[in-house]
């Protein structure tokens, strides 16, 4: 679903929606793009959208909302406490995710804050399939540390393994035995692993993790922010579940977890987030954190209009024709770039297409942030904003030395139902030009480096005058064309 065979042209994604509201975009000249990159400190996070043509930074809060979500926002109950809008969201969470008790929060990292403040103590270890930047920061802030337990093949960026987000069960057993059950408050699984290319885990693997959790009496926590796409790829790739509906797969996944949290900015094409469980004792441990950090228990720092949109968006997650839109576009983009020799993370995952910057810019040392440099170079030649997922997104050790990332990726996020096929083809064209001129890209170095989550706000500068040379080559090849 979502991919259609064309008479002459192979498989291509087909939009399963029509466009009824449009928003103007800006494609500014290459000279302005270079100036904008300088003003942003060569950090795509700091670009203003007036200078961005296609915003492929993230899918967080940028998915298109449906007509039904927008309509639902009009009958929101804006009571501070006891809102009927919250009751509708709570019912949607129970129906879709199978959890009775819900704590609303303003977004996913707020859920991480509440969970880590409640359960993580100094000296604790949190096993996970792979970390996300904000969860790493919250675990560390509360005195814990993480153990990443992916299989070794997960870091083979070009492969055909369908579930590179799987947790290595042998590594999990070893982690528990070495650290002691008493030092492990929970095991965390992320659907799907953001930082290694949006790679999903299988339902069979989640069952194995649950078995180990039960064996040692450890809580299992599921980050369900991209659970819809993970469930879709389970249905596509895991033989045992091909005949099951999206709703059945989602309920099986969440049913294996003691605690489920999510960012609605990803999960339901709206804003906000939540923590949910069927265990009243777990709910009670976190309940007091919501009025302290988020808002009252029936709004959690979220607009009630967004709460209504969340409720509808959760139910729309069960619609395969909606959830397939992003994965099918990502698949098309990855496969077309691969045909042109561009090194991509395969198989195509969720969230976005991921370019292997370590291979694309293999002449740039990791200490000079090749993925960040590639993101800057791609913006200059295209006006497209992607996101660095590599050493810039990592941290330094206690002595100030870089902790080099396992992978260096440029992520080109593909939000649901936002881009047209002609825009995706423009991405392919400009990335092909940059691949042919990759020798012109140079490194970056920090000029301003915040101590936490530096990739959001940090400023950098090029290690040479490579951006001007890249612009000159672009002008030579394209003339006055944007």
pLDDT of residue 59: 87
Selected catalytic residue, list 51, 55, 168, 223: 223
pLDDT at 271: 83
Go through 206-216 and write b for each residue having 16 or more CB atoms within 10 A of its CB, e for each that does not.
Answer: bebbbebbeee
Give the pair of three-digit tokens for residue 456.
């959001």
* Active-site option among 44, 133, 134, 391: 133
Q: Among 101, 360, 455, 474, which one carries the catalytic annotation? A: 455
Residues lower than pLDDT 50 in the chain: none
* CB burial of residue 454 (10 Å; 0-12, 13-18, 19+): buried
**Who's near 149: CB < 8 A, 6+ residues apart?**
127, 128, 129, 167, 168, 171, 172, 175
Q: Tokens 């092909």 sit at which residue?
A: 432
Distance CA 413, CA 56 (A): 4
> Catalytic: 474?
no
Active site residue 223: yes
Q: Which of 67, 80, 121, 396 is catalytic?
A: 80
Residue pLDDT, tens place only, 115-145: 999 999 999 999 999 999 899 999 999 999 9
pLDDT digits (tens, 9 = 90+) for 321-343: 989 989 999 999 999 999 999 99
389 is catalytic: yes
Distance CA 339, CA 441 (A): 22
Rounded to whole angstroms, how far apart are CA atoms 127 and 112?
15
Q: Pick the catalytic residue: 266, 271, 385, 430?
A: 266
Cα 298 to Cα 97: distance, rounded to the nearest angstrom: 18
Q: Give pLDDT, residue 20.
A: 86
Question: Which letter, b or e, does each residue of 317-353 get, where b requires 16 or more Cβ atoms within 10 Å of its Cβ?
Answer: bbebebbbbbbbbbbbbbbbbeeeebbbbbbbbbbbb
Catalytic (active site) residue 446: no
Write down the number of H helices and E strands in the chain.
Answer: 20, 16
Per-residue 3-state assignment (H helix, E strand, C coil) for 409-428: EEEEECCCCCCCHHHHHHHH
Q: What is the pLDDT of residue 331?
A: 96
Hey, what are 461's tokens?
């500068």
Catalytic residue, chosen from 132, 186, 360, 378, is 132
Q: Report how far residue 213's alpha carbon sits from residue 205's, in angstroms, rounded to the nearest whole number.
A: 12
Out of 251, 389, 417, 438, the active site residue is 389
Q: Determine whether 254 is an active site residue.
A: no
pLDDT value at residue 262? 95
- Exposed, middle or buried, 355 (CB in 10 Å: 0-12/13-18/19+)? buried
Residue 152 annotated to the active site: no
Q: Is 266 a catalytic residue?
A: yes
Q: What pLDDT does residue 1 have?
A: 61
End-to-end CA distance of the chain: 35
Query: What is the pTM for the complete model shown?
Result: 0.93
Length, in residues, of the chain: 482
């Amino acid at each position: 679903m979502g991919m259609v065979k064309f008479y002459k042209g192979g498989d291509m994604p087909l939009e399963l929606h029509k466009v009824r509201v449009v928003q103007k975009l800006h494609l500014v000249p290459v000279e302005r793009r270079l100036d904008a990159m300088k003003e942003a400190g060569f950090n795509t996070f700091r670009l203003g959208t007036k200078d961005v043509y296609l915003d492929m930074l993230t899918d967080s809060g940028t998915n298109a909302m449906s007509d039904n979500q927008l309509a639902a926002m009009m009958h929101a109950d804006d009571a501070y406490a006891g809102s009927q809008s919250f009751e509708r969201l709570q019912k949607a969470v129970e129906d879709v995710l199978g959890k009775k008790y819900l704590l609303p929060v303003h977004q996913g990292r707020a859920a991480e804050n509440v969970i880590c403040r409640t359960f993580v103590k100094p000296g604790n270890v949190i096993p996970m399939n792979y970390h996300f930047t904000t969860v790493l920061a919250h675990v560390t802030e509360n005195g814990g540390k993480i153990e990443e337990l992916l299989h070794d093949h997960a870091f083979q960026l070009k492969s055909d393994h369908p579930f590179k987000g799987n947790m290595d069960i042998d590594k999990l057993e070893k982690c528990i035995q070495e650290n002691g059950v008493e030092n492990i408050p929970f095991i965390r699984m992320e659907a799907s692993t953001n930082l290694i290319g949006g790679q999903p885990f299988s339902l069979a693997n989640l069952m194995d993790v649950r078995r180990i959790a039960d064996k040692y009496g450890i809580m299992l926590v599921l980050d369900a922010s991209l659970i819809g796409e993970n469930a879709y790829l389970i249905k596509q790739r895991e033989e045992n579940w091909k005949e099951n509906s999206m709703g059945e797969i989602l309920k099986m996944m969440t049913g294996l977890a003691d605690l489920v949290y999510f960012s609605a900015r990803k999960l339901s094409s709206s804003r906000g987030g939540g923590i949910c469980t069927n265990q009243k004792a777990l709910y009670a441990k976190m309940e007091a954190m919501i009025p302290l950090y988020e808002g009252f228990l029936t709004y959690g720092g979220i607009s009630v209009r967004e709460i209504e949109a969340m409720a509808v968006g959760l139910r729309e997650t069960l619609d395969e024709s909606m959830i397939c839109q992003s994965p099918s576009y990502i698949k098309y983009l990855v496969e077309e770039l691969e045909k042109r020799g561009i090194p991509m993370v395969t198989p195509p995952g969720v969230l976005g297409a991921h370019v292997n910057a370590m291979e694309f810019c293999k002449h740039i040392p990791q200490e000079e942030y090749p993925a960040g440099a590639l993101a800057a170079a791609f913006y200059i030649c295209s006006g497209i904003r992607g996101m660095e997922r590599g050493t810039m997104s990592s941290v330094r050790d206690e002595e100030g030395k870089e902790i080099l990332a396992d992978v260096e990726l440029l992520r080109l996020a593909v939000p649901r139902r936002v881009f047209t096929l002609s825009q995706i083809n423009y991405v392919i064209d400009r990335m092909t030009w940059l691949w042919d001129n990759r020798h012109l890209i140079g490194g970056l170095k920090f000029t301003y480096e915040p101590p936490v989550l530096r990739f959001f706000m940090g400023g950098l500068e090029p290690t040479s005058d490579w951006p001007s040379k890249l612009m000159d080559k672009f002008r030579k090849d394209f003339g006055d064309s944007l």
